[in-house]
Each structure stands twice: as C-alpha cells, then as structure tokens.
C-alpha cells in the first residue's frame, strides 16, 4: 500500500515538473535570438520572403495563441507539427524514440557488463598491477571525448577491419544489436569508467564491514562472500549512479547519433535547435523529461528490491 502511495506521489510530482518544464521550454526557445524563417532563407532572406514563410509556418500568430495551441495539444498527446519538416512531432518521436531508447539501454547494459567484473577485480586486487591497470583504464575513458572515441571506433572496426557497419541502425532486433554495438560501446565505456571507480571504492568499504568479517569468520567460501554479501551491498550506490547517468547518456546520444549517422532523437534534436524548430524542441524536451523522470522513479523502486531494508 505504502509503495503504491509513494509511486502515486512521485507521479504527481512528475506531472508538476513536466507542466513547469513545458512553460519554460516554450518561452525559452523563443527568447533565444533567431527566427526559423530567417534561418531557412539564409542570405536570401528578404522582408517579403520572410513574411511569406512566417505566414506559411504559422509563426505570425501571437505567442500566447501559439502557447495555448501547444498546451491544449500536449494535454491530448499531440505535440504539434514540426516547423521545418512539416510532419507531426509525435510521429517524429514514434519514428526516432525506439532507436534512442535501444541505444541508451544497450549502452547501460554494456556499461554494467564492463563495470561489475572490472570494479570487483580492481577491489579484490587492491593496489596490485591489475587494480592499477583498471584504474588507468578508468582515467583514460573519463578523460577521452566520446566523439573522438566514436570516430576511432569507426576507423578501426568499421573501415579497417570491416567488422561492423559504419552508420545506420538496422531494422530487426538482431540487426540493432549488431549495428548499434560500436555506438553503444562508445557510450558505455564512458559511463563504465566512472562506475568502475565507484564500485571499486564501494566494494572496498563493504569488505571491511562487520557482516563480511563475520561471514569470513564463519568460513564461507570467498566467492560466496563476494557475490552474496559484498556485491549486493556495494552495488546500491553504483545503481544510483547508473540511474543518474541516464541523463548523461541521453545527452551523450546527441553527439553519438551524429557521429554514427543514427536516425535517433538526438540527431533530430540538434538540427531542431540549430534551425529553431520550436515545436520539435518543445516536444522532444517533454519526451526526454518523461523518460528521465520515469527512469529515476524506476531506480528508486529498484533499491527496494536490491536492499530489503529500504522501504518506499
């Protein structure tokens, strides 16, 4: 019952956040200098042509009217029509969200697969060569920009070795796994670098905890102590961090999708911001906000399952 009330409360908070965000985004994008019509016409922008285009794009209506249309639409799930592409924003979301979701999830899975063994190994081999190597690996990936890593991956595994396709997202699930491996790995490595350090420290802290000392004294096998008593406790802070990193991953997908020429939300968002495609920026920001809020909620719910002591 408590759990249900907690979730309902969080959902309520989420709605308030989204409403405030909708107002902010709507007005902020219009406060930035720049006009879609002038941007589109570029050097050929004459007052007459700009006026024609503004009328055709519906930008000559008063801003409060545009806002009312946006809010009324958003409440019904209609995010309006892209100023530049002339297609409903909702259909752009439907078309592009699956790829971004897949990419971000894939990156998180890869990050987890890299983090757990490396973090555990580093902690158990504390200050030995393996630990030093893993810590070096972390520092390297934290300090390397992802677009550069992406291009290197493309050159090495795409062009030179021909192991993976250079760009494109694929159509089926299996194709997604294959096509998106390099971009997901690029994103995943960046995140796992931070998570590995976090998990190592957290395991080291847990190893000295009383219940672990007791388990050792009872003569439990080392493997069992690590998997059942250490990892499960140590991983909580890492899961929190991974949840927080969803925002980082969604943000990072903007760059990675451009580098790997992936038709996801990120690359669309970049062109929408540069071209002042107000409707797309508004709509996509809302979708991103919903995504991140839901993930944060799920992260909190996940604690309860990992650690029974935490009640919601």
Partner 1 sequence: MLSSRCGSPGGGALKRRAFLSSALAGAGLAALGGRRRMAVAEAASVRRGGTLTWAYTTIPLRLDPLWTQARTDSIIISNIAQGLVRANPTATAVEPALAERWSVSGNGLTYTFFLRGAARFHDGRPVTADDVIASLERSRALGVYKWSLADVKTIAKLDDKRVAIVLNAPVASILARLAMISNAVFPKDQVTSTGQRELTKPIGTGPFMVREWVANDHLTLDANPRYWEAAPDGKPYPYLDGVIIKQVPEDTTKVLQIQAGDLGGAEAIPFSQVPALKRDPRGQLLTFPQQQVYFMVIQLTRPPFDDVKVRQAMSLALDRKVFVDRATAGLAIPANSFMPKSGLYWNPRASLPYDLTKAKQLMRESKYPNGRSGITLQLPSGSQIGRDNAVLAQQMWGEIGLQVQIQEVDGSALAAAWYESNYEAISGYQWTNGMMDPDQLVQFFFVDPRMNTGYQPSDQAVRMVKAAAEELDPAKRRQLYDQIQLIYNTDVGGTISLYYTPSVNYLTPHVRDFYRTPLGVPLYWKTWLAR
Which residues of this protein are in contact with partner 1, per CB under 8 A?
32-36, 38-50, 52-53, 56, 82, 84-87, 92, 95, 151, 154-155, 158-159, 162, 165-168, 258-261, 263, 267-268, 270-271, 274-276
CB of 38: closest distance to partner 1 in angstroms? 5
CB of 270: closest distance to partner 1 in angstroms? 7
The alpha helices in 32-88, defined as continuous H runs, are 36-41, 47-57, 63-75
Q: Which is nearer to partner 1, 139 or 152 (CB)?
A: 152
Tokens of 203: 């395991």
CB of 72: closest distance to partner 1 in angstroms? 22
Report which secondary-structure segment, H or E, holds 277. Answer: none
Q: Which is nearer to partner 1, 103 or 194 (CB)?
A: 103
Q: Which is nearer to partner 1, 61 or 126 (CB)?
A: 61
Q: Which is nearer to partner 1, 29 or 231 (CB)?
A: 29
Please, which residues bridge with residue 88 across strands? 81
CB of 213: closest distance to partner 1 in angstroms? 54
CB of 189: closest distance to partner 1 in angstroms? 19
CB of 78: closest distance to partner 1 in angstroms? 17
The alpha helices in the chain, defined as continuous H runs, are 2-31, 36-41, 47-57, 63-75, 89-124, 129-142, 146-153, 173-179, 181-207, 210-217, 222-224, 232-259, 265-274, 278-306
How many CA atoms, within 13 angstroms, populate the side-chain half-sphere of residue 187?
31
Q: Which is nearer to partner 1, 84 or 234 (CB)?
A: 84
CB of 27: closest distance to partner 1 in angstroms? 17
Non-local (6+) Cβ contacts of 286 within 8 A are 18, 21, 22, 25, 74, 79
Is residue 82 within 8 Å of 269, Cβ to Cβ? no
| Burial class of residue 151, CB neighbours in 10 A (0-12, 13-18, 19+) | middle
How many CA atoms, within 13 angstroms, populate the side-chain half-sphere of residue 104?
27
Q: Which is nearer to partner 1, 88 or 225 (CB)?
A: 88
Q: Which is nearer to partner 1, 157 or 303 (CB)?
A: 157
């Amino acid at each position: 019952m408590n759990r249900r009330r907690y979730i309902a409360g969080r959902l309520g908070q989420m709605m308030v956040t989204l409403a405030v965000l909708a107002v902010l985004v709507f007005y902020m994008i219009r406060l930035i200098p720049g006009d879609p019509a002038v941007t589109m016409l570029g050097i050929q922008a004459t007052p007459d042509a700009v006026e024609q285009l503004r009328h055709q794009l519906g930008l000559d209506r008063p801003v409060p009217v545009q806002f009312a249309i946006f809010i009324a639409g958003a409440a019904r799930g209609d995010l309006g029509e892209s100023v530049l592409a002339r297609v409903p924003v909702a259909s752009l979301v439907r078309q592009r969200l699956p790829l971004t979701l897949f990419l971000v999830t894939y990156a998180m899975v890869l990050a987890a697969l890299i983090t757990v063994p490396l973090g555990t190994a580093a902690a158990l081999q504390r200050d030995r060569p393996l630990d030093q190597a893993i810590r070096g690996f972390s520092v390297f990936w934290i300090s390397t920009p992802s677009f550069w890593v992406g291009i290197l991956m493309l050159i090495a595994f795409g062009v030179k070795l021909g192991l993976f396709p250079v760009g494109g997202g694929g159509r089926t699930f299996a194709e997604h796994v294959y096509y998106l491996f390099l971009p997901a790995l690029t994103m995943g490595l960046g995140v796992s670098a931070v998570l590995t350090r976090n998990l190592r420290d957290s395991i080291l802290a847990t190893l000295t905890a009383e219940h672990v000392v007791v388990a050792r004294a009872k003569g439990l096998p080392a493997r069992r102590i690590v998997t059942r008593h250490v990892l499960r406790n140590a991983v909580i802070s890492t899961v929190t961090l991974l949840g927080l990193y969803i925002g980082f991953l969604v943000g990072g997908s903007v760059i990675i999708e451009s580098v790997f020429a992936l038709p996801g939300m990120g690359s669309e968002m970049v062109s929408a911001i540069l071209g002042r495609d107000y409707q797309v920026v508004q709509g996509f920001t809302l979708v991103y906000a919903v995504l991140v809020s839901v993930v944060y909620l799920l992260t909190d719910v996940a604690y309860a399952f990992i650690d029974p002591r935490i009640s919601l």
